[in-house]
Amino acid sequence: MLKRDFSGLKIAGQGSITSRGDRGSYFGSLTAGKNFADGRGNIAIALEYSKANAVYNVDRDDLTGAYSGRNQFNQSETTVGEPAAGNGVPDNQFYRGVRNGSIADGGLVTAVCNPTVAAQLADLNRCRASSTGFVSASNPGIGIGQRYVFNSAGQLVLSNPSLDFRDITTNFGASSPSSGSSNTIGGLGSTLMNTGQLLPSLERYSANILAHFDISDAFQPFVEAKYVRIYADQEGQPSFFSPISGTLGLPELRCNNGFLTAGSLATLQSIGRCVNPATDRFATSRFNTDFGGRGELHKRETYRIVGGVQGTFNDDWKYELAVNYGQYDEHYDSLNNLKLADLAGNDDGFTLAYDAVLAPASFSGSNFVLNSTGAKVICAVNSATNTRPDCVPINLFGVGAPSAAALKFVNTTSSYQARATELDVTLNVTGDTSQLFELPGGPVKFNVGGEYRRETARSHSML
């Protein structure tokens, strides 16, 4: 609102929506003003409201590949040993339906594939056909293990992509063979895009007041005030581990995990994992979409008020004295972060819940979850004594497997608050010396001013 003497009423509004029926955007405003005291005074107020709904990655699968796989350039051949000028074959090509081959929403396990063991190389349930055996020290071969994913029923099944980029980007025959890309076309790996937003949701309120009253030419008080509040909701990727030991620094999953089905254990053993279920552990990589995308809920408020007086004196001298105070407040909650320890550093949250075991017959607590056979599963920390009755074990085998109670125990919300303020006092006097003296070129113009400013800022986080 920039008009100094607005008089009347003005109402405006608009709304829009995309051709796909989402991202609704709305705006409305009202401005009202009135002159008084024969036009010597005026007060005006302006109110605005706007809102824009979020667009999520899953709303634009054709763009993001949230369900069907990403559309992107990907390495398409090994570049090891390639001359600097290239070999005439594009190193990267554009593909559709690209997935991450080394992590899955329900949990992914890679089979053991030892290139020195012929029986393993011949077993296509363990090794991909592109694997090569040991030839010599300079050509030790490479075993490319098959990948398995826990489906929604908690069963470990083979991920069978139409193209595994390890098959075409590995430098086979090298003394230190390695894969250039772990992605796939098809298969059961994660797209990494099935949480998160293309556009966040925004909601904005604002109010402005502008008023003045000209008591005389020499004394004209005025006031300006503004208030703005913004809500913003944004979502990103969920928590993940790939594997648990590498990402979170915790031991891998027990082979005798209480939620692991007998069929999945048999599959693990058939691909070289869990040889001794009582003591062994196995690595898994999981993109925790069912934990909820990590996001932030923002609230921002801005206040500003200016009060002062201005006028003309000594015929053509002008002055303005103004006091300006502004304040910015921010608060946001960070959602769906994994809780690993309490404030004292003791194991808590996910660290306790993922270590799930079958309950002994003597267990009498209510903090258990039934597995697929109806047996009670508890947190391992409670095996001997129910020392953590708040601990609910979490099932990590398959999308949708974690219970609501377990997610409440492992996820945490942290908060952040900040405030910044500014106080600014200014005084300016402008005029010329025409009533006192003039030089051959005319009177001397001048401006004299002073300013006092104080700024503060503080912030803190809360767990």
Peptide bond preceding 161 in cis form (omega within 30 of 0): no
Proportion of the chain above pLDDT 90, given as a percent: 89
The residues pairing with 35 across neighbouring beta strands, listed in sequence order, are: 42
With a pLDDT cut of 70, the percent of the chain lying above it is 99
pLDDT for res 82: 84
| pLDDT range class, residue 242, cuts 50, 70, 90 | very high
From residue 436, give the alpha-carbon distance in Å to each of 198, 410, 431: 67, 79, 11
pLDDT at 403: 97
Calculate mean pLDDT across residues 324-347.
96
Q: What is the mean pLDDT of residues 430-451?
A: 92
Flag whether pLDDT at 92 surpasses 70. yes
Among residues 104, 116, 106, 124, the alpha carbon closest in space to that of 271 is found at: 124
Q: What is the pLDDT of residue 84?
A: 84
For the cut 70, the answer to whether the pLDDT of residue 280 exceeds it is yes
pLDDT band at 4 (very low <50, low <70, confident <90, very high): confident
Alpha carbon 279 to its chain centroid, in Å, reads: 37
| Greatest extent of the chain over all pairs of C-alpha atoms, in Å | 109
pLDDT confidence bin for 2, thresholds 50/70/90: low
Specify whether the CB–CB gap between 61 and 20 falls below 8 A. Answer: no
Tell whether the model's pLDDT for residue 33 goes beyond 80.
yes
Q: Which residue has the higher pLDDT, 3 or 158?
A: 158
Q: What is the residue-averaged pLDDT of the chain?
A: 95
Mean pLDDT, rounded, for 112-123: 95
- Render pLDDT for 168-179 as a digit per residue (tens, 0 to 9): 999 988 888 888
Residue 136 has pLDDT above 80, yes or no: yes
pLDDT above 60 for 1: no
The answer to whether 406 and 393 have CB atoms below 8 angstroms apart is yes
Residue 73: pLDDT band (50, 70, 90) is very high
The pLDDT of 189-217, averaged and rounded, is 96
- DSSP secondary-structure letter at 262? H
* Token pair 């109402």: residue: 11
Residue-level pLDDT at 80: 84
Q: Which tops the pLDDT comparison, 2 or 334?
A: 334
pLDDT the model gives residue 85 = 84
- 461/463 Cα distance (integer angstroms): 7
Q: Is residue 79 pLDDT above 60, yes or no?
A: yes
Residue 167 parent element (H or E): helix 166-169
Which H or E element spans position 163? strand 163-164
| Residues contacting residue 219 through CB under 8 Å, at least 6 positions apart | 309, 311
pLDDT band of residue 144 (cuts 50, 70, 90) is: very high
